[in-house]
Chains A and B, each alone.
Chain A
Amino acid sequence: MSRLGFWVAAALVVIVGILPLARVAWEGAGDGWWDVVLDEESRSALVATLKLALATTALALLIGGAFAWLSMRTDLPGRRVLRTLLTVPYIVPPYISAVAWINLANPQVGLLNVLLGEGVLNVYSFGGLTWVLALSFYPYVLLTVRAALENSDPALEDAARMSGAGTWRVFRDVSLPLMRPALATSGGLVFMATASAYGAPALLGAPARIDVLSTRIYESLTSDLDGLRQASALATLLFGFALVPLLVRARRHAVVSGKASRPSVVRLGRARFPVVLGVWSFVLIAVVLPALAVCGTAFFRIAGDFSFDNLTSENFNVLQRREIRDALLTSVGLAVGAATVAVVLGGLVAFLAIKTRHRGRGLVFGLSAIPLATPGTVLAIGLILLWTRPIDLRNTVWIMLIAYVAKYVALAARAIGEGLGTIDDVLSDAARMSGAGGWLRLRTIWVPLVLPSIVAGWFLVFMPSFSELTMSLILAGPGLDTIGTRMWELQEYEGPTAASVLATVVLGLVITSNIVLRVVSRGRYGI
């Protein structure tokens, strides 16, 4: 089974994610490659991308790691509500959240600046861009670490407490080392996703005079007939970003060893008050305010005029349009499909990488992440180049499904890999010795044990697929428009208020279904 599984997984990863990129790289190969890569502007974009990715990763690790631990391991009040609230920034599409942050923190009339004094906060800065990106990506860290912690044994922390360690020491000496593999993995994801992000760098980077590779690539791809060559040369630089996280290896500890233990929590003690204050201030500023800024805009006729007369519900009339409802269905179908396929393929890749000794397993695991580090524009172009002849998938739903799976499968693979990493092989061995074959072990032992990670991985893929924009704008043929492309269309052709209606609907829809899921499953599943 492992042999067959390996070749199936390897073939799928290569066909879905690597061939299209190889096709693009091939377009760029040739004499011009070095000219583009060694160009002064390319080099400064490369440096800026690297700096931005590192800073964003650091911030996302800080936010995501701290909240994962606090909400899973301590007696922080309201931690259940917090778990859902903290995923909200991931539900807001990145391009919408960038606009929300422009509303909140532009130096002239940003709402926060109106409160704090003009020009105190400037979203058009390296710091501002880092902040906005980190808010979009810290949920990678939060969900991956949380799923890993869910599996691990709180007795380890209890032991530290019994040895006389305070809250901080328990965190530093026990929890942090336990979280380190998950932090390393999810940090790698943030790093790659930041390197390829387009929306926020385009909107915030230009006024901040920050040029990154992804915006340069977009510029060359979208105007000039010869731009493909230049773009593909620049994209090969980004492929390198996918390799960086592979260099960071943290030692893994199998903490679900087959000796079961009961969950318990770390009492915050004296730290309780300042922690609660800090957590809820963060939630207010980073979660509630931007969400309000998005939803709020939906209820005004003219953006930026907050008078009572300007209130209206007529923006919501767009929801009566058939094409909007069709787009909603298309997006739900595609995102469910992409998340499910990504969880299966990613789970297989992760299983092979972590639980078998097959040669080349690490390579497949690494390859699966390259599309994540590649700007969506490049991937979409590669898919068109690849799927024209002999099989023409253009303007079908399949090319979009492939695009989403390719781009986001690494999120599922890493999240599930983290979960698998915490589980001792002896649990599967015991099932073997009970006579259970491969599929039965998968079904009765592995899947139930890594279910928290599978759910996290599914959500991690579902959300960005649901509101994906960059690739869909190039791939969505007639009748296949998605929420993302319709949102873009409303923004482009009908002004700023109409698009936020759709963002509001997405937000409401996802949060509601999450709550329903929690209630129906009695709190076992949900994000």
Chain B
Amino acid sequence: MSSTVTLSCLRKIYDGNHVVKGIDLAVAGGEFVSLLGASGCGKTTVLRLVAGLETPDEGSIDVGERCVCDAALGTWVPPEDRRIGMVFQSYAVWPHMSVLDNVAYPLRVRGERRPERRARAGEVLALVGLGDLGARRPAQLSGGQQQRVALARGLIMEPDVLLLDEPLSNLDAKLRIRMRRDIRRIQQETGFTVIYVTHDQDEALEISDRLVIMDAGEILALGTPAEVRDHPFLSTT
């Protein structure tokens, strides 16, 4: 149910700019790790590299026992085959599908039958507090509700690894606190591995097993919330 994620010497260059500068990181199975940093520090790029939406210029990524990507060997597993779920900052809900169909989509991809996947989608929607909105179109939902649809779609896959890219950024403060506790609870119940990108240090400190503080494409610090709490970088941001 949960996989380790290992990044080795990961490097990404855009038009001569080194966006990710040789990162090494080992995430344990079932661990909740946050990538924390200001915008432009490369944290989202790391996430997209793990997802497979970007290809690294150097280095390799292993998920569990499987090498999904190795620049030197030319190994490459496309994102759809990595059994990794992802929740995007901009929700990425599909406007042409109902809320229920949005959430059930990963099951449809897997070829599950319609009644089963609808039932399961209903359950997950209830989990994120949208139990009665399945028939709606995303356009009829508020921003916060759409974000929860996106989260439900990530959860329903029961992935080995779930990547979350600032999934709470558009929620109001109260809801944000409730949702991050829910995420944490669900993760602990099901035990999948999470890599969580955020620029909100309180959020990161509260929710994570370990934090990675990033700046300019490099890892500045790595440790449990207690270990990094006093890192100078945090107080400056």
Direct contact of A and B (CB under 8 A): yes
Q: Cβ of A427 < 8 Å from any Cβ of B?
A: yes
Q: Cβ of B91 < 8 Å from any Cβ of A?
A: yes
Do the beta carbons of A430 and B157 come within 8 Å of each other? no
Do the beta carbons of A435 and B109 come within 8 Å of each other? yes
Beta-carbon nearest neighbor of A437 in chain B? B80
Q: Which of A261, A263, A426, A437 contacts B92 (CB 8 A)?
A: A426
Task: Provide the bound-state CA to CA distance between A440 and B81, in Å.
Answer: 13
**Which residues of chain B have C-beta atoms less than 8 A from A444's C-beta?**
105, 108
Q: Cβ of B86 < 8 Å from any Cβ of A?
A: yes
CB distance from A467 to the nearest CB of B (A): 33
Do the beta carbons of A262 and B88 come within 8 Å of each other? no
Do the beta carbons of A433 and B84 come within 8 Å of each other? yes
Which of B28-36, B121-129, B136-144, B188-196 makes up part of the contact surface?
B136-144
Q: What 1/0 flags go to A425-442 for Cβ under 8 Å of B? A: 011011111111100100
Do the beta carbons of A427 and B94 come within 8 Å of each other? yes
A440-456 residues with Cβ-Cβ distance < 8 A to B are 440, 444-445, 448-449
Q: Which of A256, A258, A260, A434 contacts B109 (CB 8 A)?
A: A434
**A259-B146, A426-B90, A449-B96 known; A435 vs B80 contact (CB < 8 Å):** yes
Q: Cβ of A84 < 8 Å from any Cβ of B?
A: no
**Which residues of chain A have C-beta atoms less than 8 A from B22's C-beta?**
none
Do the beta carbons of B109 and A436 come within 8 Å of each other? yes
CB distance from A396 to the nearest CB of B (A): 40
Do the beta carbons of B157 and A435 come within 8 Å of each other? yes
**Which residues of chain A have C-beta atoms less than 8 A from B64's C-beta?**
none
Q: What 1/0 flags go to A449-480 for Cβ under 8 Å of B? A: 10000000000000000000000000000000
Q: Cβ of A356 < 8 Å from any Cβ of B?
A: no
**Which residues of chain B have C-beta atoms less than 8 A from A427's C-beta?**
92, 94
**Which residues of chain A have C-beta atoms less than 8 A from B78's C-beta?**
432, 437
Task: Provide the bound-state CA to CA distance between A434 and B137, in Å.
Answer: 19
Q: Which of B83, B88, B138 contacts A430 (CB 8 A)?
A: B88
Task: Provide the bound-state CA to CA distance between A259 and B142, in Å.
Answer: 9
Q: Cβ of A257 < 8 Å from any Cβ of B?
A: yes
**Which residues of chain A have C-beta atoms less than 8 A from B140's C-beta?**
262
Do the beta carbons of B153 and A256 come within 8 Å of each other? no
Q: Cβ of B42 < 8 Å from any Cβ of A?
A: no
Q: Cβ of A118 < 8 Å from any Cβ of B?
A: no
**A429-B53, A432-B53, A433-B84 known; A259 vs B90 contact (CB < 8 Å):** yes
Q: Cβ of A424 < 8 Å from any Cβ of B?
A: yes
Task: Provide the bound-state CA to CA distance between A521 and B163, in Å.
Answer: 39
Q: What 1/0 flags go to A404-437 for Cβ under 8 Å of B? A: 0000000000000000000010110111111111
Chain B interface, DSSP helix/strand/loop, else mixed: mixed
Q: Which of B53, B78, B80, B163 has the most CB of A within 10 A?
A: B80
B25-67 residues with Cβ-Cβ distance < 8 A to A are 51-53
CB distance from A422 to the nearest CB of B (A): 12
Do the beta carbons of B153 and A260 come within 8 Å of each other? no
**A433-B85, A434-B157, A436-B109 known; A258 vs B80 contact (CB < 8 Å):** no
Do the beta carbons of A434 and B106 come within 8 Å of each other? yes
Chain A interface residue bracket vs B:
20 to 34
Do the beta carbons of B94 and A449 come within 8 Å of each other? yes
Q: Cβ of B110 < 8 Å from any Cβ of A?
A: yes
Q: Which of A259, A433, A448 contacts B51 (CB 8 A)?
A: A433
**A259-B143, A260-B141, A429-B88 known; A434 vs B153 contact (CB < 8 Å):** yes
Q: Cβ of B93 < 8 Å from any Cβ of A?
A: yes
**Which residues of chain B have C-beta atoms less than 8 A from A258's C-beta?**
88, 90-94
Do the beta carbons of A257 and B53 come within 8 Å of each other? no
Beta-carbon nearest neighbor of B147 in chain A? A259
Task: Provide the bound-state CA to CA distance between A362 and B88, in Å.
Answer: 29
**Which residues of chain A have C-beta atoms less than 8 A from B141's C-beta?**
260
Do the beta carbons of A432 and B139 come within 8 Å of each other? no
Task: Provide the bound-state CA to CA distance between A432 and B154, in Å.
Answer: 12
Q: Which of B95, B108, B157 contacts A256 (CB 8 A)?
A: B95
Q: What 1/0 flags go to B154-197 for Cβ under 8 Å of A? A: 10010000010000000000000000000000000000000000
CB distance from A51 to the nearest CB of B (A): 41
Q: Which of A431, A435, A437, A449 has the most CB of B within 10 A?
A: A435
Q: Which of A258, A424, A432, A434 has the most CB of B within 10 A?
A: A434
Beta-carbon nearest neighbor of B149 in chain A? A260
**A258-B91, A260-B93, A427-B94 known; A433 vs B79 contact (CB < 8 Å):** yes
**Which residues of chain B have C-beta atoms less than 8 A from A432's C-beta?**
52-53, 78-80
Do the beta carbons of A435 and B110 come within 8 Å of each other? yes
Beta-carbon nearest neighbor of B104 in chain A? A434
Task: Provide the bound-state CA to CA distance between A424 and B92, in Å.
Answer: 9
CB distance from B237 to the nearest CB of A (A): 26
CB distance from B132 to the nearest CB of A (A): 18
Q: What 1/0 flags go to A237-274 for Cβ under 8 Å of B? A: 00000000000000000001111111100000000000
**Which residues of chain A have C-beta atoms less than 8 A from B90's C-beta?**
257-259, 424, 426
**Which residues of chain A have C-beta atoms less than 8 A from B86's C-beta?**
429-430, 433
CB distance from A439 to the nearest CB of B (A): 11
**Which residues of chain A have C-beta atoms less than 8 A from B110's C-beta?**
435
Task: Provide the bound-state CA to CA distance between A426 and B141, in Å.
Answer: 19
**Which residues of chain A have C-beta atoms less than 8 A from B108's C-beta?**
444
Task: Provide the bound-state CA to CA distance between A426 and B44, in Å.
Answer: 13
Task: Provide the bound-state CA to CA distance between A293 and B81, in Å.
Answer: 61
Do the beta carbons of B137 and A260 come within 8 Å of each other? yes
Do the beta carbons of A431 and B105 come within 8 Å of each other? yes
Task: Provide the bound-state CA to CA distance between A426 and B105, in Å.
Answer: 15
CB distance from B131 to the nearest CB of A (A): 20
Beta-carbon nearest neighbor of B162 in chain A? A433
**Which residues of chain A have C-beta atoms less than 8 A from B106's C-beta?**
434-435
CB distance from B236 to the nearest CB of A (A): 31
**Which residues of chain B have C-beta atoms less than 8 A from A429's C-beta?**
51, 53, 79, 86, 88, 92
Beta-carbon nearest neighbor of A423 in chain B? B95
CB distance from A436 to the nearest CB of B (A): 5
Beta-carbon nearest neighbor of B95 in chain A? A260
Do the beta carbons of B153 and A430 come within 8 Å of each other? yes
**Which residues of chain A have C-beta atoms less than 8 A from B92's C-beta?**
258, 424, 426-427, 429-430
Beta-carbon nearest neighbor of B48 in chain A? A429
Task: Provide the bound-state CA to CA distance between A83 and B96, in Å.
Answer: 22
**Which residues of chain B have C-beta atoms less than 8 A from A433's C-beta?**
51, 53, 79-80, 84-86, 154, 163
CB distance from A455 to the nearest CB of B (A): 14
Beta-carbon nearest neighbor of A1 in chain B? B78
Sort A-B residue pairs by CB-CB distance and give the 8 closest, nearest first. Answer: A260-B138, A258-B92, A430-B92, A434-B106, A433-B86, A260-B139, A260-B95, A426-B92
Please name 10 further chain A to chain B contacts, defined as beta carbons within 8 Å, in addition to the given A260-B93, A429-B86, sorted by A numbering: A258-B92, A258-B93, A260-B141, A426-B90, A430-B150, A433-B80, A433-B163, A435-B81, A436-B109, A445-B94
A-B contact pairs, 7 of them (CB 8 A): A258-B93, A258-B94, A262-B139, A263-B139, A427-B94, A434-B109, A444-B108
